[in-house]
Amino acid sequence: MEYFAVNHEDPDYCLVHRIQPAVSTSSLVKEEGHRLPKISSNDEYAPLKEVMIGRGEYSYFPAIPLAAAANIVPRKASWELDNFAQTMEKLAIRVYRPEKVDWGNVKIDESKEGEKGRRSGYTSSMMRDGLMVVGETIIESAFSWNCRRHEVELLHGKWLHALAHERDETIKVVRAPKTETVADDRIFDIRQGARWAINNSRIAFDAADFIKLEKGIVVTHKSNTTNQNGIEWVTSHLPHGWRLIVIEPKKSNTSEMHIDATLAPLFPGTALYNPELVDLKELRRHKPMDTWRLLPAPIKQSWAEYPPSFMCHNEHLAMNVLVVDHKTVVTEEQDTEMHNLFESLGMNCIKLPFKHVGCLGGSFHCATVDLRREHGASEERISGDRSLETLSSRGQKVAECRRE
């Protein structure tokens, strides 16, 4: 099958498939009977209470074979995302979905300099790319890709605006900084032989390049979507008492994009790391990872055999799991090596189909934003302790989901 080179500045996108939008589980716009989400998340493993899950319909891609995309990607990915959302609701987790956006018919103001002929986003599925929650602060990405410059506003603008004007002063909404127009943007004007695809000419970062290690600590790295200016800008907006750790990817790793395929905290004192993307010695240089149990993730090269990958190494998405609580993790149903690893740690695996979502660029962690986690219980579990059991009600629901 022939594939074309991807140029993320190229405005020529193709609509790959049209299907009827999925049933919405809840609106984030403040309407009668609905409420805005509560924002509070200090780590990646405390019991999940509220979550945003993306949508697959109406996704756009840089030029790829139309027939392959139409038959494989949006239709089946939308079903997988809807099934994922319904599974989370069965666990008594409040699920939000973003605004429905048909990326092929978005109207943008082309009178603005540099906007004519440009697209405004490519998918509603990858929630983690555009937003991160750190404590009670929610931060919007400053995308390096020009084709995504309007994505967060179209998906989340209404509820972010409403949240910013709530009377709850503990919640802070940080919108992306104003940047140059597309016509003036030179972020992809790089030196021959440069390691990363972007330079440091403006603030650029994807929220998915940042991950919460534990309360007070966020881990990041420079990549093909996040530069030094972006890291410094995020640092300046972290809540009081939080600090940033910057890790160095392997020198052989020049395709790095998004840290949640590199590092996955599971519970206090324990995390997975991707040995193909980062050295264990590099992680050990940084406290508190010098004393953590860091486990190499089993990366199965055949993971991406079908369906064909789009813009990422799908085998690395085996690490891109969503931890529901200190004893429960959502994984792709075919990742048997990961299932065995998690179960050896005393964790329950909720095994769901998700490979078509992987074609859009991510898996369970990428497709979600953990809006609120219940803190306190997770801190009781330390490295090596298998005795703490999940609440009986949730444990029963996990068993029901696994049977289905």
Tokens 């995504």 belong to residue: 148
CA distances 52 to 4, 60, 238, 380, Å, are 32, 21, 21, 26
| Cα–Cα dist 365/240, whole Å | 25
Q: How is the beta sheet containing 172-174 ordered, strand by strand?
A: 131-134, 137-140, 172-174
Active site residues: 206, 258, 366
Contact (CB, 8 A) for 219 and 213: yes
Q: Measuring CA to CA, which residue among 265, 294, 269 is closest to residue 280?
A: 294
What interhelical angle do 392-403 and 74-90 show, nearest 10?
150
Amino acid letter for position 335: D
Residue 259 makes CB contacts below 8 A (sequence gap 6+) with 208, 209, 210, 211, 219, 220, 221, 223
